[in-house]
Amino acid sequence: MYAIIQTGGKQYRAKPGDVLDIEKLEGDVGHKITFNDLLLVGGYNEGQTLVGKPFVQNAKLEAEIVEQTRGDKIHIIKYRRRKGYRRTLGHRQSLTRLLIVKVENGSGQTLELDSAKRKEALIKASVPFSTRQKERDAARGPQGSEAKAKKASAPKAASAAAPKKASATKEASSAKAKPAAAKKTTKAKK
């Protein structure tokens, strides 16, 4: 059985055991929240669906607050070309992570989260909100910290090698310039 709830100006599909990140709701971790305004309840009796007008009567969904967190940072950049206008802003949305515990369809049928599956759902809920760092480490390869150390030492070696290349190119360019100058002098003699 699943339900569609409306909170924070958005709609979410939820069933027992799901973990949802929604707009911030007041409450501490472990606090129970009841949503009485369900827009739809489905999948409870061989595919039957109850659609509310606008809400399903006597239907409710119970959830538990697992975490109060903030979303990833969003960067807002405003730019006008050739005008010298640049503005940068950032925003992190406050979110509440919920574990859906129970759905009632209003006609006496209820679907609850098993206590055995509750632990798995809580482990799923404890996944850090931002996984960017893990993605970066995976992109670097299995030697993430070793690769950082090599990259840190590489610029020093490159800067030491750079002057040699520059002097070698100067010598090559001056060697190329000498034959050209010699040709000019030979033409002048004729």
Structural domain boundaries in the chain? 2-130
Instruction: Give the chain's largest Cα–Cα span.
Output: 113
pTM: 0.62
What percent of the chain shows pLDDT beyond 90? 46
Going from the C-alpha of 132 to that of each of 15, 60, 124, the distances in angstroms are 28, 36, 17
Amino acid letter, residue 38: L
Q: What is the 3-state secondary structure (H, E, C) of 75-103?
A: EEEEEECCCCEEEEEEECCEEEEEEEEEE
Over the stretch 142-180, which tens digit does the pLDDT of each residue have? 665 555 555 555 555 555 555 555 555 555 555 555 555
